[in-house]
Each structure stands twice: as structure tokens, then as C-alpha cells.
Structure 1
Amino acid sequence: MLLTALEFLGLVAFAASGALAAVRARLDVFGVIVVGLTTALGGGVIRDVLLGIHPPTTLRNWPYLAVCAGTALVVFVFHPQVARLRRGVLLADALGLGVFATAGTTIALNAGATVYAACLIGMTTGIGGGAVRDLLLREIPLVLRKEIYAVAALAGSVLVAAGHALRLPAGPVTLVAAAVVVSVRMVALWRHWNAPVARGPE
């Protein structure tokens, strides 16, 4: 139940951030919904493909599609108000990252993946939808840029895997790990922390 609730929370957060990015790119209503769906569901689809779950969970259950499409449509209609909530949008994206990275790791572990594989799959679940979103909008994926993004997702995945190895309660561990991801991401934005980049030619 907790895992499902967190997943839907992450879906709303990612669908909203994806839809807002599509609005800024001047896409029509159909394009906004498609990008919102892709952002919210892309990471989960990649996760299920890697775990051999066919068809992917989000494509077998209509509520996933309905929630994402509805969120994207709301953003399309009320985008001026949503756009003014810049901090809220950034928080929503960080929340989606934390929820999907940790939930993806838990699902991978429950499916029998090794700890190493589960961490990588969890990280990919968190960053996959956003990467596809950026490609659709003809941007360099955020995860490949200097901002702290994938590192935060990986940190959350490692915490979930460590809790699993220590046989700690899965629910509290997932919540704590998701909170760590969100905190790292938001502090990185606030403090302008960046991963190292190569220096340009002299």
C-alpha cells in the first residue's frame, strides 16, 4: 500500500514537471500530455523491461495513465499559475526523483535482482523519464549535465539496498531514502552544487 501511494505521488510530480516543460516549449495540448506521460511513466517502463516484466506495469493498469494524463491536462490549463510556483515545480521534480529511485530499487529487489543491479535499476527508474522528456524537447538530458541529479538518485537507491541487506523494515527505509534524495537535490539547487565538468581548451 505504501509503495503504491508513493508511486502515484511520484507520477503526479513527474507528470506535472514534464507537462510544464512541454508548455514552455510551446507544444499543443496533445504534445503536453504525451510529454507528461513520458516523463512520469518512462522510468517505470525502463525498469520493467530490465526486470523482464511484460507488459510494463504502468501500461497494464489504466489508473497510471489516467492520473498522468489528468495531471498534464491540469498543468496545460493552469500553466500560468503553475509556472509562478518555480520552487514548487523544482520540489515536485525532486520528489518524483526520490520516490521513483527508491520504489524502483525496492521493486527490483523484490523481483530477485542483486543489490548491485537493484541500485542501478532504481537510479534508472528515477532518471529515465526525465531523460526521455529532455530528448523529446531536443535538450541535453539533465542527468548528463553538471547538476547533481543522478548522484542523488543513486544515493537513495543505495540506502534502500542497504536497508534490505540489513533486514530493516522496508516502509520506513524507503521513506527515509526518498527524503534523502529530495534533500540532496534541493540543497544542491540551493547551494549551486555541481558535478565536475571538463575544463575547456586553453
Structure 2
Amino acid sequence: MDLWDFSGTLWRTFEVMGTLAFAASGAFTGVRKGFDIFGVVVLGLITAVGGGITRDVLSGNLPPLAIRYPGYCVLAIVTSLAVFGRPIPVLKADRTVAVLDAIGLGAFAAGGSMMAVSMGFQSTFTVVALGVITAVGGGILRDVLSGTPPLIFRREVYASAAILGSLVFIPARSIMGDHWAMYVCMGVTTLCRLMGIFMDLHLPSGRPKRS
């Protein structure tokens, strides 16, 4: 196996880990909310593939990749069923899921940015927007469907990490090419998210003035 083959295999591994983490976080939310098995599976599935589907719809890449190549949907469904069947060990693994989620956030931000470029979009805003939508869109749908204030509005270094990673992707692509720029984007996004988790970093929040 040469370096290129190894790199591609590694990338697919990251995508699988991200899908597992996103599906687990969605199913995890459903279990906490007391949803039935269908609700848990729907939340897990929409968290895992919702961002990519939203990106594809907005960019005109139809039918969405998740529909054309349903392997990740199947993986998300199986993961959600596993969480529903054995919720107690998962409920004790918050930090592990958060770390895998950070890897998924980076992988999806990079994949969304690369998708934008491959479809001919050159605007920095468009590339970053599609990267961020891919990374956080599923989580937003999860929170809306479960009646939870979206994570990206709760001071977390989350969407901001994806924005920074997608921004770095653009100059990295001109320096080292598409393939390695994706890894740079993923690394920056994941690192920022992990720093937010382990160093307890938060974005400044607005506070209502007291009368």
C-alpha cells in the first residue's frame, strides 16, 4: 500500500468515526428525551447525514450523496439501534463521544469545503458556508427536532471551529493541493474543537442588561 492509498484509507476511517459519533450523539439525545426506537433512530440518522443532505440540496447536487450511496445511512441506523439497545454504557461515555464528534466535525467540514470546490464554487464565502453546513447542519436539525437550543448558539467552540478550518482550507489548497488541504482543514477544525472541550473554552455571550 503506497502513501496515497494509506491516506485515502485513513480519510475514510475518519469519516466512519465521524458518522458513528454524530449518529451516537443524535441517538443519545433521543434516549435522554425518552423517545421511542423510531425517534432515536431518526435523530441518529439526521445528525449523521443531515448536514451533507442540506449541503447537497443548497448546492444543487441532487439527489444527495447520502441517498445515492446509503452506506453511511446504514451505519448511522445500526449505531442508533445499538445506542437504543444499550443506553447505559453510552450515557457514561460523554467525553469519548465528544472526541469522536470533534473528529467528525473536522472530517465533514473538510469534505464540505472540498465538495464546494469540486462543484466549481470559487467564492470564499460559498466554500466556507458549505463546509460549515456539512459539519454542523445535522446537529442543528437534531437539536431542533428534539426541542433543544442548538449547540452552536450555546457559547461552544463548534461552528466557529468549522469556520476556521474551512477558511484555512482555501490557502492550504493553493499551497499543497486538494488532498492535503482537506487534512489541514480537518486538523484545524478538530484541534479547535478539542481545545474547547478540554480547556473549557467558550465564546463570549450576550447578557441581558438588568433594569
Q: Structure 2-normalised TM-score?
A: 0.89
SS at match of 1:10: helix
1:101 corresponds to: 109
The match for 2:37 among 29, 40, 45 is 29
Distance in 1 (CA, whole Å) between partners of 2:82 and 2:123 is 38
Q: How far does the alpha carbon of each residue in 1:127-174 deviate from its partner, in whole angstroms, 9 at most, with x for none?
A: 1000000001101111122111111011111122222233x1333332
Q: What's the offset of the Cα at 1:178? A: 1.3
Letter in 1 for 2:170: A
Using the alignment, how far apart are the partners of 2:19 and 2:33 within structure 1? 21
Counterparts of 1:53-132 in structure 2 under 5 Å? 53-116=61-124, 117-132=126-141
How many percent of aligned residue pairs carry the same amino acid?
A: 36
TM normalised by structure 1 equals: 0.93
8 Å Cα contact 2:27/2:83 also seen in 1: yes
Write the distance in 2 (CA, Å) between the matches of 1:79 and 1:99.
Answer: 26
> Do the aligned partners of 1:7 and 1:103 also contact (CA within 8 Å) in 2?
no
Which runs of 5 or more residues in structure 2 are unaligned? 1-7
Question: How many residues align structurally?
Answer: 201
Instruction: Please tell me whether residue 38 in structure 1 is matched to residue 46 in structure 2.
Output: yes
Task: Structure 1 unaligned segments of length 5 or more: list them.
Answer: none
Task: Label 1:85 to 1:5 Cα distance change in 2 as closer, same or farther (>3 A).
Answer: closer
**Among 160, 168, 177, the residue aligned to 1:159:** 168
Shift of 1:14: 0.7
